[in-house]
Structure formats: structure tokens, C-alpha cells
Amino acid sequence: MGFPAGFVWGVASSAYQIEGAAYEDGKGETVWDRFSRRPGAVHDGHTGDVACDHYHRYAEDFRLMAELGIRHHRFSVCWPRLLPEGTGRLNEAGLDHYDRLIDAMLENGITPWLTLFHWEYPMALQQRGAWENPDSPKWFAEYARAVAARYADRVGHFFTLNEPQCFIGLGYVTGEHAPGLKLPVDATIPMAHNALIAHGLAVQALRAESPRAKIGYAPCSSPICPATDAEADVEAARGAYFSTPADRGFFSTAWWSDPALLGRYPEDGLKLYGQYLPALFERDLATICQRLDYYGQNIYSGSFVKAGPSGPEPVKLPVGTAKTGMNWPVTPECLYWGPKFLSERYGVPVIITENGMADLDAVSRDGKVHDPARQNYLSRYIEQFRRAADDGVPVAGYFCWSFLDNFEWAMGYRDRFGLVYVNYETQRRIPKDSAYWYQGVIESNGAVLF
Ligand code: GCO
């Protein structure tokens, strides 16, 4: 069986990680522009000021993408390029830029998949309280309307929020990401709630402007997989995956997805956090829960449990388990169990909106970049995703993270996630071996992986 006809193969990126041109053409400041300047915040003081200079080189980047047989690109729009103050005044130069960028994708036969928010939060709105401000969902809806009004004639696929777990959890709880705050839970739970309302209002805004648009949401998870196929272990894994434990509540799948897809918060999460939600939070659930065409999910690694006498018990990975350049364990089964559990619970087709691995790739004496570890990682993960498809899980697409090596948030340019190597001194691009391998995967619709 394998992947269904019409399955989408693509690559994913985000604005701050590749664009550069941080202070050009009237763009407003983002929280990442500010945070990356804070001493010690980002590895070796790196910033996204120049990044891959994709802002100026998009035409050649899309030509290369097309040459490599890639027909779908998930990218994000930088909110304050369009609205420098976050709301109100539109910046025509910013609007023009994404006109040209989208047109260049289309000219190269590449379908744009537009993410509204991949963390380029306007600094001007940060100064007005960001997601803590009760008006913040409306600000986001205004931005969504502006995007749809301008681009929905050429863009038919959208995602609202990318990894809300991270921009709230890492941005406002642990402080590892922009804006680098550590706020108490009575502040962050209402912020998370506002971000969910923003998602709902954005879906409404996109649908109002473009009734035929296909719309999804792109949270992330680290799937909890059963150590064996025994039904008791599968049940233990499913239960653990959708639980909201106190020690990682902000990264809970159910807390962030049940409201958007089922119209309710999970019971165990409400016991922990319900007291911090606004008194009338239930009124907002009808706004938060909008029909979605697909459920996007960024998955990089997972963990394992088995059924124990008093609940799921963690099972350690075998000694010597492969790791990526960032020390993330290589656990391909998460691309089987994650999509399976998610589609069972949420009932919409699953798209892997990101999956890939970082490594410390280098150019060899032959001028090429040999990255067998990435090819091994991707083929094993995609094989598991294919197993999910074979088992009847509705799978709609797969986007590899990432096309280019890029700015990896607090890790700066230390690790390389691309199918294409970037020399940051010269901005020269060199497709890695894995890029040519991926071309074959796309051509065979995932039948040829090894
Ligand atoms: C995301 C991710 C990407 C990362 C990738 C590797 O949140 O969507 O943060 O932007 O670069 O996940 O960590």
C-alpha cells in the first residue's frame, strides 16, 4: 500500500531562521531580534540578522528546490514585516516582499504552505503585554486577515500557530527562548489560553477571506510509544501521551490540542491548571475549536513506556542508541505511534509538519557534503510513518525540517538541520547527499527509502 496518491512531500522553514534582512524595508522588530542580542542568550552571540539571506536569495533557493524535485514548501511570514507595530499600519514593502516570494514559489512549481506564526512576535506588542493582554487574540486575527486578504488568491494552505508549547513554554516559562521571561503559572496559563483563542480567531479570519483554504494547526510532541505491541503497553503509552503531568504541563499534547480539536480542556490538566484559567474560559471554547482540514505535528523523537502495576512505567532506550548532533535520540517508532494516537483521538488527517535531524555536517575534499546519518534517520522515520499509513492511519503529508541549514534558535548556527548545506561566509548552497536521496523518495512516493 504505502503512501496514498496525492500524499504531499515537502520541506519546512521559518522566517527568522532563514530570512535575515532583519532591519530592512520597514520591518518592525521581533522578540527574536531583541533576544538574540541579549548577552548569553544565544550560542556564541549568533543572531538572525543575516541568517541564510533568503530574503534576497529566495529566487535562487526556489530554483534549487525545484531542481531537487521538491514541490511543497512550508514557510512562515514575519508578522512585523507586514504590520511593523503588530496592528494598525500595514507596511507595503513587506507585503510586496511576500508577493514576490510566493510568486517565485509558484513559478518554480512549488506549492506554498503558509504558517502565520513561527515565533516572529512583534516587539511592539510584546511591550503591550503580548499574550497576557486580553486583546492579543484580536491582534493576531487582524494579522491573519491581512495575510489572507493579500495572499489567499495564490496560497491555499495555511497553518496558524507553530509549536505553541514552545513559544509559551520556552519563551515565558523556562526563558530559554525569546522573549526570555520566566513568568509564574498564573500568568502563563492565561497566555496559553489567549494563544488558543488566537488560533481559533485566525481560522475564522482565513475562512472568511478564503472559504476554500485548507487550514491546520502545527503543535509539536514527543510521542510516548509502547515498549512492545502488547495491548496493555499500547494502552499505557496512549494514556501517558495524552496526560498532562505537572512536571511537563506546558508541553502537554492534550492541553494544547483537546481545546482546538475537541472543544474541551483535558480533565487531568484542569485539575492542575483550571484555577488559573479565566473564570469564563468555557465560553471561549467554541471560538478555539474550529474545523481543521489537517492536524500538523512536528515530531523529532519519542520515548517508551510499558504497563506497570500502578500505571505506565518508563522504559530506557538501549545503551548505545543513536543520537543526532544535538543529542536527541533516534527513535523512528515515534513516527508510527504519534500519528496513530493523534488521528485516533482527533479524527483529522495527520501531516508531519517537521521532522529531521541536526548534525555537524562538513564539506568533504570532493566538494560534496556526505550525510549518511541524516539519510539513515529520515529513511527509518519515514518507514515508520509508512507503516502508519499501511495500518489505515489517515496521513496527508510530510515536511522535512529543513531545506537549508539555518539559525537554530538558542543554538544559533552550531548545528545543521538542512538537506542543503549553507556556507554562512559566502552564502553558497551545496545540496547534501540526503537532498538527492530525498528526491528519490519524492519520485517514488515513499516506496524507495533505502
Ligand atoms: C519549530 C522548530 C524549528 C526548529 C526545529 C529543530 O519549532 O518549529 O523549533 O523551528 O528549528 O524544530 O529544533
pLDDT in tens, 21-38: 999 999 999 999 999 999
Residue 283, C-beta contacts closer than 8 angstroms, at least 6 positions apart: none
Dihedral angle computed from the Cα positions of residues 185, 191, 196 and 201, in that order, rounded to the nearest 10 degrees: 160
Confidence of residue 245 (pLDDT cuts 50, 70, 90): confident
> Ligand 1 test: best mutation among 30, 116, 352, 401, most atoms within 8 Å of CB?
401
Confidence of residue 399 (pLDDT cuts 50, 70, 90): very high
Is 282 among the residues known to form the active site?
no
Is 354 among the residues known to form the active site?
yes
Whether 163 lines ligand 1, by a CB cut-off of 6 Å, is: yes
Residue nearest to atom 13 of ligand 1 (CA): 408
Identify the residue whose cell numbers are 474560559.
Answer: 281
Whether 151 lines ligand 1, by a CB cut-off of 6 Å, is: no
Alpha-carbon span 94 to 77, nearest angstrom: 10
The reply to whether omega before 179 is within 30° of 0 (cis) is yes
Which residue, 101, 179, 87, is CA-closest to 136?
Answer: 87
Confidence of residue 247 (pLDDT cuts 50, 70, 90): confident
Check whether 265 has a pLDDT greater than 80. Answer: yes
Whether 166 lines ligand 1, by a CB cut-off of 6 Å, is: yes
What is the tens place of the pLDDT at every residue in 168-186? Answer: 999 999 999 999 999 999 9
Identify the residue whose cell numbers are 492542575.
Answer: 272
> Ligand 1 test: best mutation among 298, 326, 377, 411, most atoms within 8 Å of CB?
298
C-alpha distances out from residue 275 to 185, 254, 280, Å: 10, 18, 11
What is the tens place of the pLDDT at every residue in 54-86? Answer: 999 999 999 999 999 999 999 999 999 999 999
H/E segment holding residue 97: helix 92-107
Q: Which of 120, 209, 354, 408 is catalytic?
A: 354
Alpha-carbon span 118 to 127, nearest angstrom: 19
Whether 76 lines ligand 1, by a CB cut-off of 6 Å, is: no
Q: How far away, in angstroms, is 359 Cα from ligand 1 center?
A: 14
Identify the residue whose cell numbers are 549518511.
Answer: 372
Averaged over 435-443, what is the pLDDT?
A: 98
Confidence of residue 2 (pLDDT cuts 50, 70, 90): confident
Alpha-carbon span 345 to 347, nearest angstrom: 6
